[in-house]
């Protein structure tokens, strides 16, 4: 079986290719921005957001309300971030708030991970049922959900 990192690194670019070019994508928890070149090559306006450790477009604490107007973003990229947020549902609610109608969310998170990036580790991951429940609760639908023994990858769209 393919390891989770390789699986994820193939899956995410495939999801990016499904987005309409000429739109914007907000990479939340962008870190070193591994998907920036893929987004830009697809014609997306890439906007990176993370806390002060990285050189990103917008520095912001992800545990606080996001500095965007309602429905101001077309697409969200959230890769391997939720396990680093003490209240991940609050972040998901904020992402839904700032995403335009029919906006897309590319979300990945481990399902079984070791401690890493301490002290910012609050969970070892989430099962598919977490995404199924919260997508419906937040007015989104799951277009795709891939389960790997070490993680979950999902594409949501806002209804």
Residue range 58-89, pLDDT digits in tens: 999 999 999 999 999 999 999 999 999 999 99
Q: What is the pLDDT of residue 113?
A: 73
The model's pTM is 0.95
Report the alpha-carbon distance of residue 54 to residue 29 in Å, rounded.
9
Q: What angle do CA 138, 141, 145 make, to 5 degrees?
A: 115
State residue 5 phi and psi, 5-degree precision.
-60, -45
The CATH superfamily of 4-158 is: Vaccinia Virus protein VP39 (3.40.50.150)
Q: Would you say 16 and 74 are in contact if contact means Cβ atoms under 8 Å apart? A: no
Of 34-48, 57-71, 83-97, 116-130, give the lowest mean pLDDT range. Answer: 116-130
Tokens of 36: 């920036």
In this predicted structure, which of 7-16, 27-36, 84-93, 111-120 has the lowest mean pLDDT? 111-120
């Amino acid at each position: 079986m393919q390891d989770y990192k390789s699986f994820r690194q193939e899956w995410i670019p495939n999801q990016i290719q499904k987005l309409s070019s000429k739109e914007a994508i907000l990479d939340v928890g962008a870190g070193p921005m591994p998907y920036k070149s893929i987004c830009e090559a697809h014609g997306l306006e890439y906007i990176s957001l993370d806390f002060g450790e990285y050189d990103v477009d917008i520095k912001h604490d992800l545990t606080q309300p996001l500095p965007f107007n309602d429905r101001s973003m077309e697409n969200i990229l959230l890769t391997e971030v939720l396990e680093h947020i003490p209240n991940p549902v609050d972040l998901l609610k904020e992402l839904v708030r700032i995403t335009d109608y029919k906006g897309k969310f590319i979300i990945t998170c481990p399902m079984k991970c070791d401690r890493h990036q301490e002290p910012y580790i609050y969970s070892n991951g989430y099962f598919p049922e977490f995404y199924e429940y919260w997508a419906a609760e937040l007015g989104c639908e799951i277009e795709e959900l891939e389960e790997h023994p070490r993680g979950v990858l999902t594409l949501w769209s806002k209804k």
